[in-house]
Structure 1
Amino acid sequence: MTDAYATFAQDSFAGRTVLVTGAASGMGFETARAFLSKGAEVVLCDRDAEGLSKRHDELKGIGASSHEVVADMGDPNSIRRMFDYCDANLARLDNVVTCAAIITAKRIPEQDWAHWQRVLGVNLLGTFFTVQGAVQRMQGSPNGGNIVCVASDAGVHGGGGLIADTAYAASKAGTLSLVKSVARELAGKKVRINALNPGPTDSPMHSHVDQALKDRIAANLPIRRMGQPDDMAAAILFLCSDAASFIYGAALDVDGGSMFR
């Protein structure tokens, strides 16, 4: 286990439950592993059934119990089944982290209607309906809950078609607005929601980016390296922890300094 989580006690999330979407790889998988290592009961969700099963097997023996649920965030019926599983198998739902996303890098002439529908369907609509399901359950709990929606620095400065395209950037900008809107509506109701803004991250999601470009990106970041999935997972742990109890409706930049604002 990486030292990125050493700040958190082994039992930091003991007795708490976490739902993580996009958990078959990259940031989602690392987030699930981080929560498990700190005592949480975790439900891993992903549309990649084979990858999810392999990753779930890797987590056996780490921390508390874990579950796997095949779910496509672009399908509302699948999202409902995901929450049905949680209702049937968890005592309550304390934390939800939306890591599931499609990243695309198409130039404007290559982006058709179907492309936009799929990207927005997973990245924005899927995020909203996951948040909706979480809110419905957390509002009924005396403990409330925490929601973290993974956005992107592309949602702030836009995409250029090289690493991320217009559709992806727009979906992540929408996620940032979604978090603020939900936070306004939930004010005073014991449910916290925040966004995570990852910068350039070396993860399977960026497998379409060649190493030479990754090296150039890293050289141009103030911190001089690409982010790693555990950098993001550690920040998510913090946002869901009691230490972040006064952070609400915010977007936390975890980007190596790519977005000085």
Structure 2
Amino acid sequence: MRVREMFELGGQVALITGGSRGLGLQMAQALGEMGCHVVITARKADELAEAAGQLRALGIKATTIVSDLQRAEAVKPLVDETLAACGQIDILVNNAGATWGAPAEDYPDEAWHKVMNLNVNAPFFLAREVGKRGMIPRRRGKIINVASIAGLKGSLGPMQTIAYNTSKAAAIHFTRALAAEWGKYDINVNAICPGFFPSKMSAGLLDKLGQVVIDYTPLRRLGDDDDLKGAVVFLASQASRHMTGQYLAVDGGASIV
């Protein structure tokens, strides 16, 4: 196989959660440009419609599904609708996530459950459903979990986000455990650990400490609108067919200092 062919994704279907903006939309664009029919899901119909318009303007085939993955009961209908529209799911990108800042001793119960429901429970329930109904019977598939460098450290500077850090560490080990179980089905399970990217989730922190974050990052920059594209295409394509249970830190080197 020629190297260029290893990265082609024509005819494949990619389901991206939290795909209406930020990192999810960036990854949807990358997969779409390589030939995928992308299915993006999020809670807000208006944001999904705007994102789909951007993707279609680039010649990307895009389908939108409104779904609130905070609710476990939303998982099966999401998969039902995706399979009805597209017939298959070749690539699953578990990107949707939440965070909440508070000191550990005062951390609200509702905040802990919100973060864990979206960052840990939803990726497992969705991977289980997609695997059981599509990838395992077809003996092929790519699952990409979006973790974070927050899952590699106890804290990131002054952030008081114990649930987020815990959930992203769980995402990394979930990736390893699922990869070990599903390798026999030729399903690759890997993770991406982004560092700091400007987004709605990180806006408050970066407004206050953006320059500090940059100063402590070896490459002296934040991630931008292109920096996850290569990583997600690599992990979704045949170029990574002999790689599973691993994570890629895309963070400008922030996790090594």
For 1:228 and 1:16, the matched residues in 2 are separated by 26
For the pair 1:211 / 2:197, whether they are aligned, the reply is no
- Distance between the aligned counterparts of 2:208 and 2:166, measured in 1? 26
Distance 1:179 1:164, change over 3 A: farther
Report the 3-state secondary structure (helix = DSSP H, G, I; strand = E; otherwise coil) of the residue aligned with 1:69: strand
Matched, 1:112 2:108: yes
* Runs of at least 5 residues in structure 2 that lack an aligned partner in the other structure: none
The answer to whether the aligner puts 1:29 opposite 2:6 as a matched pair is no
Aligned to 1:126: 122
Which of 92, 98, 105 in structure 2 is aligned with 1:102? 98
2-side partners of 1:20 and 1:164: how far apart?
28
Question: Could you report, residue by residue, the CA deviation over 1:108-160 in whole angstroms, capped at 9, with x for unpaired residues?
Answer: 24311111111101110011111112211101115x01000000111110236
Q: Distance in 2 between matches of 1:57 and 1:174?
A: 34
Which residue of 1 is the match for residue 73 of structure 2? Answer: 77
- Whether the aligned pair in 1 keeps the contact of 2:150 and 2:165 (CA below 8 Å) is yes
Two-structure CA RMSD over aligned residues (Å): 1.9
Preserved CA contact (<8 Å) 1:159 1:168: no
The farther-off stretch of 229-238 and 82-91 is 229-238
**Would you say the 8 A contact 2:149–2:251 is kept in 1?**
yes
Tell me the secondary structure at the aligned position of residue 231 of structure 1: coil
Tell me the residue number matched to 1:139. 136
C-alpha separation between the residues in 1 aligned to 2:46 and 2:57?
20
Equivalent in the alignment of 2:249: 253
Question: Contact 1:120–1:171 at 8 Å: present in 2 too?
Answer: yes
Distance 1:185 1:38 in 2: 29
Aligned length: 253
- In the alignment, the residues of structure 2 paired with residue 127 and residue 151 of structure 1 have an alpha-carbon distance, to the nearest angstrom, of 11
Query: Distance in 2 between the 1:203 and 1:190 partners?
Result: 34
**1:175 equivalenced with 2:171 (yes/no):** yes
- 1:44/1:166 CA distance change after superposition, 3 Å: same
Report which of the two has the higher share of helix. 2
1:176-221 deviation per Cα after TM superposition (whole angstroms, max 9, x unaligned): 1111111111122111100111112222221122435111111111
Moved more, 77-86 or 162-171: 162-171
**Counterpart selection for 1:226 from 219, 222, 226:** 222
Q: What do residues 213-251 of structure 1 show as CA deviations (whole Å, max 9, x unaligned)?
A: 111111111111011242123211111111111111101
Select between 130-139 and 208-217 the one with higher mean Cα deviation: 208-217
Q: Could you tell me which amino acid in structure 2 is paired with residue 213 of structure 1?
A: L
Note closer, same or farther for the CA distance 1:213–1:80 as it changes in structure 2 (3 Å cut): same
Shift of 1:8: 6.6
C-alpha distance in 1 between matches for 2:194 and 2:60: 27
Q: Post-superposition shift, 1:167?
A: 0.6
Out of 220, 236, 241, the residue aligned to residue 237 of structure 2 is 241
- Deviation of 1:59 after TM superposition, in Å, equals 1.6
Q: Which moved more, 1:70-79 or 1:168-177?
A: 70-79
Of 219-228 and 144-153, the range deviating more from structure 2: 219-228
TM-score normalised according to structure 1 size: 0.91
Shift of 1:49: 2.0
Structure 1 unaligned spans of 5+: 1-6
Q: Give 3-state SS (helix, strand or coil) of 1:96's partner.
A: strand
Q: Return the TM-score normalized by structure 2.
A: 0.92
Give secondary structure in 1 for the equivalent of 2:256.
coil
Quote the sequence identity (%): 27
The answer to whether the Cα contact below 8 Å between 1:8 and 1:38 also exists between their aligned partners in 2 is no
AA in 2 matched with 1:98: N
Q: How many Å separate the matches in 1 of 2:221 and 2:138?
A: 41
| Amino acid paired to 2:219 | I
